[in-house]
Structure 1
């Protein structure tokens, strides 16, 4: 019997509920089942070891990728042409003079001075157990310099450098060795010309912190230095007169010059030499004393009555710090008791110990401007400071004190100006002429004030996620010059403002009027902390270049405008930078030579460790990559030009005289049209109102022709 089979028949697949489940125990489907399941606790140990192996592998892979990415980076060229300086291998600090001629070294037992170009040891000041850790220099007169040092025991000292001699003036805080209470100096800085300096002191027993401002007797020092120069010249002439004039041997003369040079380089204490010469230097005078604001919350008013409390309250004419208020201490205590009783169940979770914050002060000496009324009798072009701007760590307001007040015995007085800010102040900076004052805040904003006109110039946003770490004003010669057509007299110039954030990013702003204040990103936020830059100092002769270090201890020279690293300062393989965040270095010789302290140790044959630290010199002028910056020839430009009213009037009159030739043909043309205009006015007055139709130029022309025709006809008659 024939069977008919249909073609293209599709059978219905079985239901998913009827499908046979896969056998999880089948080792062919799961290779991990080839081994038997471990019993406890070995199974847990296996999981821990597997997890540990995976985490270690991830760490190894991350480091391998980081090394690979680091190897692929384009590294700046290495500037390793270092010359070893055999002197001052135990230097604990280093600073260059204002003119760059001298380099001052802080030693373990004193202070030394060296010529920046010839590396000749000029003079030393010796004192046992005095390790100088910080040096600041300020020019006094033509050849003198004021030196402010700070040692490891917190003692600040003043010196004068003149006639190749280090002259000791005074120690600001002298502590007896047997005293239990000591006064330490946290910070000591002076104004640009050294006529004023301020120091922050701390009492170790009472934990009291205050700041003192002293005035330097510059005029007295200059006259005393002249007397010192005369005495030194006489002292040098006396041994020359006693020499045997008959000895004319060249070798003998060479020996005498060598002995004279050695006598100048002998290490000794200069206080004894001044006493022998009969010269005593004048001492500075204290002019102001400032105490830090109290910790939060503010203390109450201690007055016994409301009437006495009202006498201590501020008038309210200007903003204050909030210390002089009318709220009594008893009222504040009662409010605290009410709060503690209401939230007693939550107070036990509060920390018992309070966090101790370091009380540090940052201050700037400011010249005369329109921001403060006192001291305006001085000319704004006078670069002597008349006020002091101070802010304390953790505070949100900046105070300005006048330095021209005569407080008498009471040197503590209220600030003249108080600027409150919306966030905690983290850094501040002023321009060289103190025209601009910039304040960096914790919220990433930068406030820029123009003190010459007395207005807030801009509120800049450096970062939205990080606080501002440091601010630096660049040289005005870097800003493109745009000479205005009007007014004809010179006005304020512009410059760049470099802001560094805590996350490592850097932004460049300009202070030009009418600018959009859009920051130029100089450095992005680094991926890791190893690549964070620590900005150190701008090279004075090359204002476009700056030195910075990284966490690994390498020092670089970068272009501020582009943010690119030009070269890496290379130390020998046996040496490293002593402290990457605070290296010991100085730039002398007009920015031509870099002095850097390198730290290193070596093990001798006997197994002992020897210190081989020393100072290295780098001749920046001889490095080929920096030739393009040396050849540019930067033109010095003042950030602010102070012009008086007579100077502005004279300039405007001179401009008017120069434009006289252009105004003469205009006046002639004007006089030629005046007769026509007078005829029109005369005709308009004589014509009746109904007949006046001066709507088009054609009607005016017809009227004028009619008037002229009548005049000619009358003359004929």
Structure 2
């Protein structure tokens, strides 16, 4: 079409040769005047016969158009063939369902998180459903379970079919039901008692304007000093909140103009705590040693860390016994394995370190500006003796080390010792060029003092000495085993033995090569086993990893053996012994203050 149109235009514009006047000049032929054409066997054509060849780039365009027309024609023929095949098929008989059963998932409760206390005496379940979230706490009758399993009670009528009770084990148990002999039947006619429901904890209510008319009325409504600092009982009016919000929106208007996504439900992080100077309990409560007595928790976006006593009944009012307010919302918290130390990581990058056993904070340490905490791993305290990391024999008090992984893949070592302020060291800087070397997770190795496993995005696994901030060695999987492309390392490190296991995935192909694949049929899973004692560089570290207190005293490797530190420790111990006496005095002061506020309130009413 393009060639024909060009020819028509050429015929209109070209002047016939016989109409030209004057002598004819025949130009000398040159190669640059030859028409350029990529067609083979090209021959000059007469002006009045056939079509002239198109110049570039029109010849290429014409070829592409012809190619597209050919592809379209092939698709049309293929579709026509499929339609013809489908029209010749006989459709099967289709039956409609007899009934439709619908489950309303919005009314069901989903368990988001659960945790069992050390020793198995208590359990907590974080549940959500119907747009609400709450934490249910239960006491587990483990002693009764052991007796019931050792001496199973046979059914009175063995021929009678036992009907399984339609009970939800997470439903609250009232005080009347808790006293009854309620049981669940299992196979073998073994009956186990139900857990005892203790309390239901909900997220703190948003702070609104006060309904109190005077500060004295506010004091009179508060039953005791427990829960002070939570912000629930205050004397801030609605007008004050409105002024505060107006100033806030005026200041940050440019950041709030964008559409805000719906905030997800709040999630709780909770820990079971052993008895200590911080976890105050009633004097009449008798708690066996090694049994948890307090639940510590915080909610998403909350500034407060709450303490709830586990010595409660369903009839008791669910109020926190203690509240720790923080300057910024708490992003995450981590409790050490021995329940001795607690770290609160705030959203502004500040870490608050607590010694729960002794009852005082180590101090506050801040991550570099712009760094935010992703995970916290506690290290068993170790000392460096003659260039080797070693665990001190016997208990060590007020000595803490932990590694902190930030969201930008940087790794830090945080140390705290007694009355000294905490320190922070950079172990691995954030990657700037080689992003594939970024750390995705970290694991502590209890069998090797001061050693951690580092898992990187490039599927590498390396062993680091945090005392030297050096990579000791790396662990590579066999050639026939390739780790997954989208790697989320699945592993476990033994707490008592020098080895770790890691999950590996292998994909096989017809060409004999092995590479990761998402095809489940061509994928084989395996578990890789690494024993530290099987490698010459590490075999002696786990075998000789302890040092006696006498050697430490001779070399002053521990700060506690220093005379000044020892004196400070004794002084602190004496001050902690006074806390019990102060607790009783505080209750008396609170009762007297409340009575006096009620007296003043009555006097004001008389006026």
Same fold flag (TM > 0.5):
yes
Shift of 1:616: 2.0
Equivalent in the alignment of 1:544: 450
Equivalent in the alignment of 1:30: none
Q: Secondary structure at the match of 1:546?
A: strand
Shift of 1:207: 1.3
1:367 and 2:274 are equivalent in the alignment: yes
Shift of 1:333: 8.9
Mark the CA change 1:380 to 1:635 in structure 2 (over 3 Å): closer, same or farther. farther
Shift of 1:209: 0.8
Pick 1 or 2: higher relative contact order, CA cutoff 8 A, min separation 6.
Answer: 1
CA contact (8 A) 2:499 2:529 kept: yes
1:402-551 equivalence runs, <5 A? 402-406=309-313, 408-410=314-316, 413-478=318-383, 492=397, 494-515=399-420, 517-528=422-433, 529-551=435-457
Q: Distance in 1 between matches of 2:417 and 2:359?
A: 16
Q: Distance in 1 between matches of 2:280 and 2:357?
A: 13
Q: TM-score, normalised by structure 1?
A: 0.49
Show CA shifts across 1:271-330 (max 9, x none): xxx8442212333222122111345xx23457899998776557667632112334566x
Mark the CA change 1:373 to 1:581 in structure 2 (over 3 Å): closer, same or farther. farther
Mark the CA change 1:348 to 1:424 in structure 2 (over 3 Å): closer, same or farther. closer
Mark the CA change 1:349 to 1:493 in structure 2 (over 3 Å): closer, same or farther. closer
Equivalent in the alignment of 1:187: 113
Equivalent in the alignment of 2:208: 299
Mark the CA change 1:337 to 1:399 in structure 2 (over 3 Å): closer, same or farther. closer
Q: Distance in 2 between matches of 1:419 and 1:464?
A: 24
Equivalent in the alignment of 1:350: 257
Q: Distance in 2 between matches of 1:318 and 1:568?
A: 50
1:632 pairs, out of 544, 552, 559, with 544
Shift of 1:588: 4.9
CA contact (8 A) 2:127 2:134 kept: yes
Q: Distance in 2 between matches of 1:636 and 1:333?
A: 60
1:232-251 equivalence runs, <5 A? none
Q: Higher mean Cα deviation, 533-542 or 312-321?
A: 312-321
Shift of 1:508: 2.2
1:324 and 2:236 are equivalent in the alignment: no
Mark the CA change 1:543 to 1:193 in structure 2 (over 3 Å): closer, same or farther. farther
Equivalent in the alignment of 1:65: none
CA contact (8 A) 2:227 2:320 kept: no
CA contact (8 A) 1:471 1:498 kept: yes
Q: Distance in 1 between matches of 2:459 and 2:295?
A: 36
Mark the CA change 1:512 to 1:275 in structure 2 (over 3 Å): closer, same or farther. closer
CA contact (8 A) 2:501 2:530 kept: no
Q: Distance in 1 between matches of 2:438 and 2:347?
A: 19
Equivalent in the alignment of 2:136: 212
Mark the CA change 1:507 to 1:595 in structure 2 (over 3 Å): closer, same or farther. closer
Equivalent in the alignment of 1:202: 128
Show CA shifts across 1:646-683 (max 9, x none): xx9xxxxxxxxxxxxxxxxxxxxxxxxxxxxxxxxxxx
Mark the CA change 1:369 to 1:333 in structure 2 (over 3 Å): closer, same or farther. closer
1:98-109 equivalence runs, <5 A? none
Q: CA RMSD in A?
A: 4.4
Q: Distance in 2 between matches of 1:499 and 1:570?
A: 25
Q: Higher mean Cα deviation, 451-460 or 412-421?
A: 451-460
Shift of 1:523: 1.9
Show CA shifts across 1:140-195 (max 9, x none): xxxxxxxxxxxxxxxxxxxxxxxxxxxxxxxxxxxx95655221111112222222
Q: Distance in 2 between matches of 1:336 and 1:631?
A: 62
CA contact (8 A) 1:463 1:501 kept: no
Equivalent in the alignment of 2:497: 591
Q: Distance in 2 between matches of 1:276 and 1:609?
A: 36
Show CA shifts across 1:215-262 (max 9, x none): 22121222234347x99xxxxxxxxxxxxxxxxxxxxxxxxxxxxxxx
Q: Distance in 1 between matches of 2:208 and 2:459?
A: 46
Q: Distance in 1 between matches of 2:137 and 2:245?
A: 42
Q: Structure 2: where are the runs of 5+ without partners?
A: 1-101, 155-184, 387-393, 512-516, 550-557, 561-569, 571-607
CA contact (8 A) 2:139 2:198 kept: yes
Q: Distance in 2 between matches of 1:520 and 1:218?
A: 44
Q: Structure 1: where are the runs of 5+ without partners?
A: 1-175, 232-273, 482-488, 642-647, 649-717
